[in-house]
Each structure stands twice: as C-alpha cells, then as structure tokens.
Amino acid sequence: MIGLLLVTHGTMGEALLQNVCHVLNKRPPQLLQLGVAAQDDPLDILPLARQMLAQVDSGKGVLVLTDIYGATPANVAIKLLEPGRVEGVAGVSLPMLLRALTYREKGMETLVAKAVSGARDGVLNMLKDI
C-alpha cells in the first residue's frame, strides 16, 4: 500500500485527517500529517518531514499531499519528492484525500491521477449539478 503524508498550513492536515476518520469510521493506516506554522523554518521542518515520510513508506512509495503550491508547506514537500517513489500533489481537499485513500493499492501513477481527479470532481455547483 502506498503511504500518504499531508504537509499543510497549521492544523489543516489534522482537520482533514479527523474528517477522513469520521467518514470512514476508522483511522486509515500509513497516513500522517505535518502542520507547518508561520514561524517554522522550512529547513528545521525538513528532518521531521523525512522521518514521517519513512514512517508511512512500506516500500511501495508515498504520495505527499500539500495545500497551496508555492507556499512553505509545498516547498517542504518538494524537497521530499523522488519521481516514481515519492510523488506530490498540491491543492489537497477532503475529496482528494478520500479518493487517494481508495486507490493506494493501484500503483503510484494511478493514485496520482485519481487524487487529482478526486479534487477536480469534488468541485460542484450544487444548484446546477443536482
């Protein structure tokens, strides 16, 4: 199973993790989150991020999900990436995370595509799409 690591601003990752546990009625394995505070130095956070990455990696790789591309959490996440083994997707949302959790057994390429489509397909105009 591919591991998942959330690297987000503040408590956003923790909130996503709590909501996933609520929706699934259990805590999924190999899923951790790292919240980056405004005062955190990215170079100081990087060793902890690497340690957490190793914790969720069972040998099948890790997908790192972050919130805003170009912001500090994403800049930390970029330093973790290794094509084919550790991939990254920005714009994390609850639909993206749930989709990623569903497709972790299907391989990294499929997982990345499904995570992105989960986020995209999770955006709906509720009055027009019902």
pLDDT at 129: 67
pLDDT at 128: 85
Instruction: Tell me how far apart the alpha carbons of residues 130 and 125 are, in angstroms, rounded to a whole number.
Output: 8
pLDDT at 92: 97
pLDDT at 97: 97
In the chain, alpha helices (H): 12-24, 42-56, 72-78, 94-102, 108-121
Q: Read out DSSP for 54-77?
A: HHH-SSS-EEEEESSTTSHHHHHH
pLDDT in tens, the chain (130 residues): 999 999 999 999 999 999 999 999 999 999 999 999 988 998 999 999 999 999 999 999 999 999 999 999 999 999 999 999 999 999 999 999 999 999 999 999 999 999 999 999 999 888 886 6
Amino acid at 39: Q
pLDDT at 130: 62
Please give the DSSP secondary-structure letter assigned to residue 20: H
Closest by CA to 30, choosing from 83, 96, 110, 100, is 100
Q: What are the CA-CA distances from residue 127 to residues 15, 119, 130 (Å)?
A: 27, 19, 6
pTM over 0.85? The answer is yes
Domains of the chain as residue ranges with CATH:
3-121 (3.40.50.510)
